[in-house]
Amino acid sequence: MQAASPRTTQKKPLSVRFKKSIPYYLLLLPGMLLLFLFNYMPIGGIVIAFKDFSPFKGIWGSPWVGLKHFIYFLTNESFWRVMRNTIIINFYQLIFGFPFPIFFALMLNEIASNRFKKAIQTISYLPHFLSWVVVASLVTNVLSPSEGIVNGVLERVFGIEPIYFLTKTEYFRGIIVVSAIWKNFGMNSVYYIASLAGIDTELYEAAAIDGAGRLRQTWHITLPGLRNIIVVLLVLQMGSMITIGFEQIFLLYNSMVYDVGDVISTYTYRLGIVNTQFSLTSAIGVTQSVVNFILVYSANRISRALAGWSLW
């Protein structure tokens, strides 16, 4: 008896496959256009960093100055002050803000009632949808020396005189970190909660039969199950160590906390928008992008070496 020949599948011509996929390409088209217009077309403006840009002469009419602006800000004391502030605030957010959503997701995973769990999850990520204008107003009111809740408790319970928290250098960085955690931890925990749902429940049952308690199950089953998403988010956060959101700092800081609160984004705003030093701020932006790329690449290599998994 002759054996049946293996099934062969012919690949359809490119034109046929293209026509079949036209609806999907049309769905992608608006997003691709926006990406091209706002992310790729402005790349040509990088040349401003190497020119003494004048709006009246245009990008190509302005004279070339080489690395003049890079040398200026790299030797400027003010730049290194804001660089230090940016790195310190990002480091605090990495140390305290990055583990918090993981801890919250693990605690939420232990709740037996699905209805209560969904209610807590919904409440936790609602602040993410508030603009920083609203959040900054809430923080200002809560910390107000006259009618703020914090000062009210300190005065009535501990007898402490009202404190102007937003004007104190020793408190400002902590306020920035805590407010950022409060706003974003709920949405960040969604990624971990989704990963927890993908862990096989039979693993927990087998571990319980072997006598493993909740802590051992968390350490040997839950955390390894979250490893991939933890690595992805950690690499992405490491890649933005010298970049920090402009709105939060701009809305909460003032001249009295410049020494500890002025960061690269607010520094470039004052130079570029207020003082119209476009070439200098472009040079700072190019340097930020290069350093961020190096950080992402380094974090990815370290993740591959230590965890055995990386983004690429």
Please report how the helices 169-197 and 227-238 are oriented relative to each other, as an axis angle in degrees rounded to 10: 150
**For the residues 225-245, what does the mean pLDDT come to?**
82
pLDDT attached to residue 10: 63
Can you give the pLDDT at residue 146? 82
CA neighbor of 181 nearest in space, from 171, 192, 173: 173
CB-count exposure of residue 278 (10 Å: 0-12, 13-18, 19+): buried
Neighbouring C-beta atoms of residue 197, cutoff 10 Å: 9
Q: What is the mean pLDDT of residues 23-31?
A: 90
pLDDT at 5 > cutoff 60: no
Can you give the pLDDT at residue 30?
92
pLDDT at 81 over 80: yes
Average pLDDT over residues 20-35: 90
220 with 107: CB under 8 angstroms? no
Query: Residue 242: phi, psi to the nearest 5?
Result: -110, 20
User: Minimum mean pLDDT among 65-69, 147-151, 162-166, 305-309: which range?
Assistant: 305-309
Mean pLDDT computed over 292-299 = 85
How remote is the C-alpha of 303 from its chain's centroid? Answer: 18
Give 62's DSSP letter.
S
What tokens does 239 get? 């890649």
pLDDT at residue number 178: 94
Residue 1 pLDDT class (50, 70, 90 cuts): very low
Supply the pLDDT for residue 9.
Answer: 52
Question: What crossing angle do the helices spanning 99-109 and 114-125 adopt, rounded to 10°?
Answer: 160
Q: What is the mean pLDDT of residues 167-183?
A: 93
Phi, psi of 202 (to 5 degrees): -65, -25
Give me the residues paired with residue 54 across strands: 58
Does position 267 have pLDDT exceeding 50, yes or no? yes
42 or 137: which leads in pLDDT: 137
12 pLDDT exceeds 50? Answer: yes
Residues 6+ apart with CB under 8 A from 213: none
**pLDDT per position as a tens digit, 143-165:** 988 888 998 888 888 888 888 99
As given in the structure block, the two tokens for residue 69 are: 């602006």
Which residue ranges form the domains of the chain, and what is each CATH number? 12-65 (no CATH), 67-307 (1.10.3720.10)
CA-based R_g, the chain, Å: 26
State the pLDDT at residue 181.
Answer: 93
The pLDDT of residue 91 is 92
pLDDT, residue 309, reads: 67
- Sign of dihedral through CA atoms 25, 27, 31, 33? positive
Identify the pLDDT of residue 201.
82
d(CA 281, CA 48): 9
**Cα torsion for 247, 252, 253, 254, to the nearest 10°?**
120
What does the pLDDT look like over 83-125, one tens digit per residue?
A: 999 999 999 999 999 999 999 998 888 887 888 888 888 899 8
According to the model, what pLDDT value does residue 271 have? 87
Quote the pLDDT of residue 50.
Answer: 93
pTM, full prediction: 0.81
